[in-house]
Structure 1
Amino acid sequence: MAYLAFADAPGTTRFAPTAFERLALDPGVTDPAARRTGFSALEWSVVAIAERDKLSTLRTPGRVAVALGTLFGDKPNPQLADTRLEALRRIAVLSWHFGYTIPGDDVRAFVEAGYTLDQYETLVDSISAGRAARNGKARR
């Protein structure tokens, strides 16, 4: 099967590429989504997974929890090995549960992990929209 390159045919005009196409065609950009939102696809997947995490996953297990885990079998540890992604997971879990009402120490730890306040706002705006959509579906 043959394909024709209509964009190069005489008498045709090529429109200017959109901003997304320019980012996708730029060899210096590895992930166009990361340029638009400040987060890579991996980071957005961490945020999506954090929706189901409970607040208890943010605490280190105590002696009783460790003993019960030994007796009845351990639960999988949701903490991530990468400290930067773990900081993102922590702030995402808090945002899924509390929205913008997160203690300043947690936001500071998020920024110290290498993220910016603009990324924090993007994250919480996205999560707030997800929370509103989820709550709207639950009421119907």
Structure 2
Amino acid sequence: MAYLDLDNMFPAPARCRAESATGTTVSTGFTALEWSVIALARNDSLSSLATPGRMSRAIGSVFGLGTKSRLADPRLEALRRLAVYAWRRGFALPIDEIRNFVAAGFSEAQIETLVTSVTGLRRDASRRPR
């Protein structure tokens, strides 16, 4: 029986790998699932990152106003949170979010990849003729 490694189906190209200070290779790319989380974060606002209070949840349940759900996987939620900041603010990222991102298992090189690709996409979208 053959084994298909779905988690590493799309490995990062050689140019997307960086050498860390310890001499280990660090990937600067993202998996297909992670790229889809980044793309979905484009539609989220900064208010989706705030934790709703008791009163806000009560009023929301009475009037049927739902709050944005967090992702079940803490690693993907850290990626979503940083991606929302990247879509909205570019390189002006909060230090706490960067710490949470790195603590979730991502590298600092992936932060640069994320913000550069997001701001590059946004800049290209604004140049399109209407």
Q: Is the TM-score greater than 0.5?
A: yes
Quote how far apart the aligned CAs of 1:90 are: 0.1
Q: Give the alignment partner of residue 8 of structure 2, picking from 19, 26, 30.
A: 30
Q: Secondary structure at the match of 1:51?
A: helix
Quote how far apart the aligned CAs of 1:74 are: 4.0
Q: Secondary structure at the match of 2:83?
A: helix
Percentage of pairs with the same residue: 46
CA deviation string 1:41-81 (max 9, x = no partner): 00000000000001111011112211111111142533100
Structure 1, unpaired ranges of 5+: 1-26
Aligned match of 1:71: 62
Q: Secondary structure at the match of 2:122?
A: helix
Aligned match of 1:4: none
Q: Secondary structure at the match of 1:35?
A: coil
Q: Secondary structure at the match of 1:80?
A: coil
What is the one-letter code of the residue matched to 1:89? Answer: R
Alignment of 1:1-140 (within 5 A): 30-32=8-10, 34-36=11-13, 37=16, 38-75=29-66, 77-137=68-128, 140=130
Q: From the CA coordinates, give the structure whose radius of gyration is larger.
A: 1
User: CA contact under 8 A between 2:78 and 2:104: conserved in structure 1?
Assistant: yes
Answer 1 or 2: higher relative contact order, Cα 8 Å, separation at least 6: 2
Structure 2, unpaired ranges of 5+: 17-28
CA deviation string 1:72-99 (max 9, x = no partner): 1142533100000000000000000000
Q: RMSD of the alignment, in Å?
A: 2.0
Higher helix share: 1
Aligned residues: 112
